[in-house]
Chain A
Amino acid sequence: MSRRIAVLGAGVAGLCVATELAARGIAVTLHDRAPAPGPHACSWWAGGMLASDCEGETAEEPVVRLGRAAADWWQAQGVPVTRGGTLAVALGRDRGELARLARRTANHVALDADAVAAIEPQLAGQVRQALHFPHEAHLDPRAALGTLRAGLAARGIAISAEAPVGPTVDCRGLAARDRLPDLRGVRGEMLVLRAPEVTLRRPVRLLHPRNPLYIVPRGGGVFMLGATQIESGGRGPVTARAVLELLSAAYALHPAFGEAEVLELGADARPAFPDNLPRIRRRGDTILVNGLFRHGFLLAPALARMTAGLICEDTKPEMMDEDQAER
């Protein structure tokens, strides 16, 4: 008889862990109070950038290294992944930010005005210098969550609202604060626009000392604008200030965003540990996978593989801190 493992929480972490475990022949049950991925999970609001190189600007080294394998993993699950890289740009007086990003990251190519125009024709004139991170990719997070859920359903694993019994992998994100006292929320706000006049082939990061912005093309003239990063666990509605900052940055990049339809506003709190790195912890017969911060889609595949390795082969994961006693 095969081993049974319950996965608690069907956000990006839980779905990735359940997928990896099921692929290794474990009898997985999946538990969440909601029947399908949706706005209750913070991964619902994600940008879906697989930006391991760019994130190296401020993130610790494991994020860059572990994130590199993400695009291949998602593609292997049948999720459409666009591999056009990321374009980092700065306007006017903020050009110094580009030099700073170049110094602190790797695997980028400096583009002049002609080179920018060649890969993103609509930014010609507006953007005179940029950094291209060609190895990066992006996906549609909601579609990706749906694909994983469908893949699990095809194996007979449906999301159950009942409480898990027996050995459990706890992937509840911020809701697991009851067991992870050093977990905190970092608020993010985003919006979704339909701007049929705008064509961008890859995510664009607009560098700015106060209000950095990224724009992720979702196809069909739809764009996701994100994301604020505020030290607060508040999950309340998007503030006017956040909308103002995000929209004015987008408008500065491309005036046609001024004519866009606002389809959606979203806000949630990302689960993070003090160093903003994820952790795997074991407490009795529960394994906790948490703290993916702003790197859910980038790091969940690596964390899922580590978790499966721990369960199936008893290999101690790199991101595991065993000594953290429950407080």
Chain B
Amino acid sequence: MPVFYGTEVASRLMLGTAQYPSPAVLADAFRRSGAGIATVSVRRESGGERAGGDFRALVQELGVRVLPNTAGCHSVREAVTTAQMARELFGTDWIKLEVIGHADTLQPDPFGLLEAAHILTSEGFRVFPYTTEDVVLADRLLDAGCEVLMPWGAPIGTGLGLTNLYGLRTLRAQFPGVPMVVDAGLGLPSQAAQALEMGYDAVLLNTAVARAGDPAAMAEGFARAVEAGRLAFEADPMEPRDMAAPSTPVIGTAFLS
């Protein structure tokens, strides 16, 4: 199982906690997914006193490790403040760092992301940066002290799957020892399986499960796909080839026609 910042997690599936029809459905989905990590947005829960406390308690009752995120932050300052608030609220120094740079695609802002990653790692945070598949940016994030990378599969909430296979393969091959999680853009279990087959350590998704007609069933579907993908990766898949290669030799067999 993958190890993030020295902690081994129980599953290669990570789930977000937003947009479910109800907390009961959310809990069901987590149960059936066996997910090891729950990501939680803290941004809209800053109302003080008890605001958001009920939902935090519900998430903590799921019994999985919580990875707070800075979802919806568009500036370095906003992301850093949100991370600091998350550390207080959830009592963890893990933070999924999102700095959004483009309103339509919700693409990460690579410059802001790197700056925020520097600040947070220097403050002792264990940063999980939500990034693109850009290899140079990945290198700089690792230099900044990130020990996990979370490249996108496609823009958040699109369900388009792995839109840049070449880029994701290159990134995976470039940093073989670094735990990497494909985060965002997955819509179907087959796409999650594909990420695992390529050697990614885990996937993180939210909308594909939360907005499915039956979130718990979809969660289980993703859990099985992740398992299948990982088995395939570990089994060392065959190389594709151009021409047919019959599994039984033709030469020497009798023709009966």
Contacts and interface: CB of A to CB of B under 8 A. Distances in A.
B and A form one assembly = yes
Contacts of B24: 274-276
B157 interface: yes
Contact of B58 (A60, A230, A236, A274): A274
B55 A234 contact: no
A184 B45 CA distance: 14
A211 interface: no
A233 interface: yes
Interface in B190-249: 207, 211, 213
Residue with the highest number of chain B CB atoms closer than 10 Å, among A58, A210, A234? A234
Contact of A231 (B25, B54, B157): B54
A233 B157 contact: no
Interface in B20-55: 21-25, 27, 44-45, 47-55
B22 A234 contact: no
A326 B54 CA distance: 18
A184 B55 contact: yes
A169 B148 CA distance: 54
A274 B22 contact: yes
Interface string A56-74: 0011100000000000000
Given A184-B58, A233-B51, A234-B52, A275 B25 contact: yes
A104 interface: yes
Contacts of B50: 233-234
Interface centre among A60, A104, A209, A232 (most CB of B within 10 A): A232
A58 B44 CA distance: 22
Contacts of A187: 51
Q: Which of A104, A187, A274 has the largest number of chain B CB atoms within 10 A?
A: A274
A185 interface: yes
Contacts of B21: 58-60, 276
Contact of A234 (B27, B47, B207, B211): B47
A185 B23 CA distance: 12
A232 B58 contact: no
B54 A185 contact: yes
> Which 7 residue pairs are nearest across A and B when measured between Cβ atoms?
A234-B51, A234-B47, A184-B54, A231-B55, A275-B24, A276-B22, A58-B21
Interface string B51-63: 1111100100000
Nearest to B54: A184
20 contacts: A58-B21, A59-B21, A60-B21, A60-B22, A104-B213, A184-B54, A184-B55, A184-B58, A185-B54, A187-B51, A209-B207, A231-B52, A232-B54, A233-B51, A236-B48, A272-B22, A274-B23, A274-B27, A275-B22, A275-B25
A37 B213 CA distance: 38
Contacts of B157: 209-210
Contacts of B58: 184, 274
Contacts of B27: 274
B22 A232 contact: no
A319 to B, nearest CB: 15
A103 interface: yes
A276 B28 CA distance: 14
Contact of B48 (A231, A234, A272): A234
Interface in B42-93: 44-45, 47-55, 58
B25 to A, nearest CB: 7
A36 B254 CA distance: 95
A209 B58 CA distance: 24
B223 to A, nearest CB: 22
B120 to A, nearest CB: 24
Contact of A103 (B25, B53, B213): B213
